[in-house]
Amino acid sequence: MLLTNGTIKGLSSWVPLLALFTVASCLQGQEFPTVLREVPMTGNPVVPAAGPGLLPEFDGGLLQVGSCASCGSSPLGSGLGRSTGGGMAAASMYDPVACGGSGCVPGSRNSYCSEHNSFASRMLTGIYECLAVPDPCYEPGWRPIMDVGMFTECARPVSQQRIRLGTQQHMTNITRNSYRIAPPPIGPTPIPTSTPAYFTFPSMNIYEASIYTEIAAGNVAVTFDMPFCLTAIDQGGGGSGFGNMVVGTKSTVFDCELLQIGMSFKSSLPVGVTISGLGNGLTSIEPGVLVGLKINEDTFLQMNFSEWVPFGGVPPYPGAMLIVAASLNRKIWQANPAVPLFAALEYSGYFFQSGGYIPYQTVESIPFATSSGSSYQQLGPSLRLFMTEKLDVGCGAQFALNPDQGSWGDQQYRFEFRYRY
């Protein structure tokens, strides 16, 4: 019995070794998948050459496992001397030595043997690569730096709700082209009670609160803008109520990291009461082009070009004009990467092509002064703080550069709150 117990005790000490030997025997000859782990890159890594039967080239220390199906394609077609849909660059009459050479992989583009030794060559090569050889890793979308301007629209649609408070101070030649105010007899007309007798008011102030809605689906959006106005006219007069409602569409037709191009189309509906200076008494359309240009990581340029075309009104005062707006945006501070503060310098220009206005000087009959060849130009700063990806607040001002020709306000101020969804 003791022997038996002694034998059991002796065997029990070998149990762990027997179990390990059994597991090793069962696993002998089994294949295990290779375990890949990230190795910190120090110095110059040894990069194997790419070629038939070899691994694809390394890019930034990361192994690229395949080519990108969209590489080499763009809205304007493929780059010259490249194959479409990825793969090796083919020699052609444009690229006889196939400068690209390497396979097309995400985040990597072919080089076109340009030394980029001057500002002009770097700029032109950058524009060409943006248009014809886009980076396949770039994901088009709205970004805060693209949409800083208070007087300039963004080229990229985004679903949002905007509340704006604004004022236009000392607005002169108020009936010019019937853009904001209708001329007599449907517009505000002072009653001549003494000499001199005015046929239109010297100036007026407009205070406005508006709700703007933009509903975007991909690259296309519809917009609605409904203002509530208060007008204060020199020599007495004015009123309050809803102004003209503006509905429109916006779309992005091209988007790469360097350049965004969009189209817009607005229609103004004569909702405001004209006799109180709340509307212009006509329907108008405003087709336009929206442009965004990336200058560097912290600087961006917004530009708008549109043509305002009126229909109806009191002839011969309504007339077309070209509207140009630009905003140079710069990130100046951030509490953290999600809370940046941007500053902008904004320009607005209104170039009158036809139409006219009623000057307020004393005359024996209502006069007509032509608008052709004149312009209103404005310049001013703005600030915008993005608090989250959904919320931002901003304020901006513009001042007339040529008030001697009149203005939409010698001083204009805007305050905005926006919520994106």
Tokens (6 digits) for 78: 């493929």
Tokens (6 digits) for 421: 């969804």
Does 113 score more than 50 pLDDT? no
69-89: average pLDDT = 44
297-312: average pLDDT = 96
Check whether residue 109 and residue 154 sit in a common domain: no
Does 49 score more than 90 pLDDT? no
Check whether residue 259 and residue 336 sit in a common domain: yes
Q: What percent of the chain has pLDDT over 70?
A: 68
Check whether residue 337 and residue 239 sit in a common domain: yes
Q: What is the mean pLDDT of the chain?
A: 78
Residue with the bigger pLDDT between 215 and 126: it is 215
Give residue 416's pLDDT.
98
Give the range of the structural domain holding residue 77, as residue numbers without chain letter.
64-138
Does residue 17 lie within any of the structural domains? Answer: no
Does residue 41 lie within any of the structural domains? Answer: no
Return the minimum-mean-pLDDT range out of 93-107, 123-137, 172-186, 219-233.
93-107
DSSP letter, residue 132: H
Check whether residue 308 and residue 333 sit in a common domain: yes
Residue with the bigger pLDDT between 87 and 311: it is 311
Give residue 248's pLDDT.
97
Domain boundary among 115, 138, 161: 138
Does residue 274 lie within any of the structural domains? Answer: yes
List strand residue ranges (DSSP E) for 297-338, in order.
299-312, 321-336
370-396: average pLDDT = 95
Select, from the ranges 18-27, 79-88, 371-380, the one with the highest average predicted confidence (pLDDT). 371-380
CA distance 100 to 111: 5
378-390: average pLDDT = 95
The burial of 313, by beta-carbon neighbours within 10 Å (0-12 exposed, 13-18 middle, 19 or more buried), is given as: buried
Does residue 10 lie within any of the structural domains? Answer: no
Check whether residue 171 and residue 236 sit in a common domain: yes
171-180: average pLDDT = 92
Does residue 58 lie within any of the structural domains? Answer: no
Give residue 132's pLDDT.
74
Look at the chain and report how many structural domains it folds into: 2
Residue with the bigger pLDDT between 290 and 185: it is 290
pLDDT band, very low/low/confident/very high, at 27 (cuts 50, 70, 90): very low
123-131: average pLDDT = 76
pLDDT band, very low/low/confident/very high, at 338 (cuts 50, 70, 90): confident
Give residue 368's pLDDT.
85
273-292: average pLDDT = 95
Does 209 score more than 90 pLDDT? yes
Peptide bond into 185 cis (omega under 30): yes
Return the minimum-mean-pLDDT range out of 23-27, 191-195, 407-411.
23-27
Contact call for residues 155 and 304 (beta carbons, < 8 A) = no
Give residue 205's pLDDT.
94
Distances in whole angstroms, Cα of residue 389 to Cα of each of 159, 328, 386, 392: 12, 21, 7, 8
Does residue 400 lie within any of the structural domains? Answer: yes
CA distance 101 to 106: 15
368-385: average pLDDT = 95
Check whether residue 209 and residue 128 sit in a common domain: no
Domain boundary among 138, 164, 194: 138
Does residue 79 lie within any of the structural domains? Answer: yes
97-117: average pLDDT = 49
Does residue 49 lie within any of the structural domains? Answer: no
Return the minimum-mean-pLDDT range out of 50-59, 132-141, 182-191.
50-59
Q: pTM value?
A: 0.74
Check whether residue 84 and residue 189 sit in a common domain: no
Check whether residue 227 and residue 126 sit in a common domain: no
pLDDT band, very low/low/confident/very high, at 34 (cuts 50, 70, 90): very low
Of 175, 188, 168, 156, residue with least CA distance to 302: 156
Check whether residue 303 and residue 341 sit in a common domain: yes
Domain boundary among 138, 153, 181: 138
Please calculate the CA angle 87-91-94 and round it to the nearest 5 degrees: 120
Does 350 score more than 60 pLDDT? yes
Which CATH number is 384's domain given? 2.40.160.40
358-384: average pLDDT = 85
Check whether residue 151 and residue 266 sit in a common domain: yes
Does 58 score more than 60 pLDDT? no
**DSSP secondary structure, 204-254, as one string:** EEEEEEEEEEEEEETTEEEEEEEEEEEEEETTS-EEEEE--EEEEEEEEEE
238-242: average pLDDT = 90
Give residue 224's pLDDT.
97
Check whether residue 244 and residue 308 sit in a common domain: yes
Of 188, 169, 170, residue with least CA distance to 178: 188
Check whether residue 151 and residue 110 sit in a common domain: no
Identify any residues that bridge with 241 across adjacent strands, giving them in sequence order: 229
Give residue 116's pLDDT.
64
